[in-house]
Amino acid sequence: MAKIELTFKELVELFEEQMDLLKTHCKSYDSGKTSIYKDIAVKLRLLLRETKNQKSLLKQLNIDDFPFINSGIPYDPDNLLPTSALLLTCFDENGWSYKPCYDRQITKESFDYWWSKQIILTDINNDKFTREEIVLNIADTFGGAHVDPQIKVPFYNITINNSIGINLQGLSAEFSMIGDTISSDFDAINTPIPPSLRQIAEELIRTIESTIKIIKEGDSVRIVID
């Protein structure tokens, strides 16, 4: 079947649409619909993933070559305890829960480091996860855009077996030792995956809003990078 190339203006319109949808999903998450994290992962994949055969939407617009906001605390390889670099472990009237750190900014990093190299999550098995791995595992295999009957063992452990080693149940919190696993039903309280995805989206939104300006003049459109 014949194909036609989209114009730059059409790509910009799709970019604006996808960013609006991402923001809407984030608002839904913040209002308590935490299961929307899978849809957040799909939007992040569309905007950011680059493969041999597919370009991310940012790449198609040539707007991925600038520093990205990094809210993650630095990874310390000598620290044997699990790390959830983008999150806060909070206690309020509803008890313990993981929360995104929202507007925290530690540094700005190149896209390549931010996306595929920076470790933002480790568990009691010393498995390590980047933003790219978290986004793609959810989007491609765990209910975002597809469900695989089998998923990678480290990702299964961090989502299903709670290998982060902290069991948050209302007013109580249970901590495991290195090498142990607390088995718990999958939910958005015990696993750090949903709030981590929400925080990745927050970093992207804030990066785009502080860096990209879309200027429309009649039928023409251009993008200016600050």
Which position has the token pair 């970019």?
Answer: 15
The amino acid present at 91, given as its one-letter code, is F
**pLDDT computed for residue 9 by the predictor:** 94
Task: List 223's β-bridge partners, or say none.
Answer: 214
Which pair of tokens denotes residue 162? Answer: 């709670």
Alpha carbons 170 and 151: distance in angstroms, whole number: 29
Q: Which residues contact 129 (CB under 8 A, 6 or more apart)?
A: 119, 120, 121, 122, 154, 155, 158
Residues 6+ apart with CB under 8 A from 178: 80, 81, 124, 165
Give this prediction's pTM: 0.87
**Within 10 A of 126 (CB to CB), how many other CB atoms are there?**
13
Q: Please give the Cα distance from 32 to 188 (Å, whole number).
A: 10
- Mean pLDDT to the nearest integer, 2-23: 95
Q: What is the mean pLDDT of residues 128-151?
A: 83
CB 22 within 8 A of CB 14: no
Residue 181 has pLDDT above 50, yes or no: no
Evaluate if residue 167 carries a pLDDT over 60: no
